[in-house]
Structure 1
Amino acid sequence: MTIQEETIPQTPARPWLPAAMAAFSGFLVVGLLFLLWFGLQQKEIAGTKVVNVPFTKAPDFSLGLFDGSTFILSDALNTGKPIVVNFWASWCGPCADEAPVIQDAFRRTGDKFIFVGIDVQDTDADAQAFMRKYGLTYLNGSGNAGPISVQYGMRGVPETYFIAPDGRLIRKWNTLTAADLEQFLGELQRASGARPG
């Protein structure tokens, strides 16, 4: 009886394996660096005045309001008052948190500022129900039909733009708290040459 040698198939050489591992490692490092950069950009958006906005002077727009009148930014700037433009939607949870904060500031500041809300990606019926629910009495209209959100580089809702009477964008912010809004209205008044208070 002879013992047959069993042949074990040899694994073919993979000369490309080190290069593939190096390339994969490179992609991983680049991906991590991108995530770190993106995180810092998001931190900047939340922490500085104006970041990732395609303009420094607010683009003019015309907005049909729910009360049947029309708001034109350039006309409002001619009043010499600072303007607060808020993009919102009835289905947006943070917008619901923010709406009473903006309404309260509008009520407290009287005619020192012009507040205007722009409802987007919504139906007029849902928007008006939202306004009734939160008692919104400042100017509001539908931005569904126009390019306003594109002009302003809107990334999502809510977003608020603080505009000086000379048309300069002073600040862009996402979700506002009462403390945020108080601080930013003060900044806006100072930038507008108006006395805070």
Structure 2
Amino acid sequence: MKHYSSILIHTITAFAFILVSCSNIDSRPGADTSEAADSETASHSENTLMAAPDFEVTTLEGESISLQKSLESGKPVVVYFTASWCPVCARNWPVLSEVYPEFEDRLTLVAVSIDPTDTEDVMRELAENEDFLFPSTAGRPEIMIDFGVESQATTVGVNLDGNIAFKKSKQALTADEFRELFSGLLN
């Protein structure tokens, strides 16, 4: 019973985050969201970076991905928090599909839906329709909460020390911007 109560609390909290984040995103093409994104970008020295919470997910392809395993294999991690209904995310998916193959041997990327109603079937259909070339999962709002993420369309990078190196939110990024973020984790 305790396990179900915990799931219920995480789900209710996730819905509250979703409602707040939906009301805060201006998804019009060309809308300036850089101020909000910059406020969540980690710009601290190495000594003050926040440790990333460990997580483990199973992708739509059945692959197990965990922060700890990735770091142990010498790969930094990028978690892209998404939702099937998110217009900003929809602008990022093709860009991630373009850039990810250039980095897939050197870092771990996984798109995690923040919406518990994004079931495996919903996300599988989305991944097929949008030609995802990157691993993704069904809705896991508890991971969003654990990372302190407040909205979809948030990209979080975890360096090899297990610390959050950057957090970009509410932003459609270009291929070059993703390349710069990914390269920064590798250097």
In structure 2, distance between residues paired with 1:141 and 1:81: 19
Residue matched to 1:102? 96
Change (3 A) 1:105 1:43: same
Q: Does 1:165 align with 2:160?
A: yes
CA distance in 2, matches of 1:150, 1:47: 18
The aligned residue for residue 46 of structure 1 is 38
Between 1 and 2, higher relative CO (CA 8 Å, sep ≥ 6) is seen in 2
For 2:176, the aligned partner's letter is A
Given that 1:63 and 1:142 are in contact with CA atoms closer than 8 Å, whether structure 2 keeps it comes out as no
Q: Which residue of 1 aligns with 2:133?
A: 137
Identity of aligned residues (%): 25
Q: Does 1:182 align with 2:172?
A: no
Q: Secondary structure at the match of 1:147?
A: helix
Counterpart pick for 2:65 among 43, 66, 71: 71
Query: Residues of 2 paired with 1:143 and 1:116: CA distance?
Result: 12
Partners in 2 of 1:59 and 1:126 — Cα distance?
26
Unaligned regions of 5+ residues in structure 1, if any?
1-41, 191-197
For these two proteins, the number of residue pairs brought into alignment is: 145
Contact 1:63 1:143 in 2 (8 A): no
Distance 1:143 1:71 in 2: 15
TM-score, length-scaled by structure 2: 0.69
TM value normalised by structure 1:
0.66
Q: Deviations over 1:69-96 (max 9, x none)?
A: 3222111111111211101111111111
- Of 154-163 and 105-114, deviating more is 105-114
Structure number with greater Rg is 1
Structure 1 pair 134/72, CA: closer, same or farther in 2 (3 Å)? same
CA distance in 2, matches of 1:74, 1:162: 14
In the TM superposition, what is the alpha-carbon distance from 1:68 to its structure 2 partner?
2.5
Is the contact between residue 143 and residue 149 of structure 1 (CA under 8 Å) also seen in structure 2?
no
1:123 and 2:119 are equivalent in the alignment:
yes
Gaps of 5+ in 2: 1-33, 44-48
| One-letter identity of the residue aligned with 1:123 | T
RMSD: 2.1
The structural deviation recorded for 1:109 is 2.5
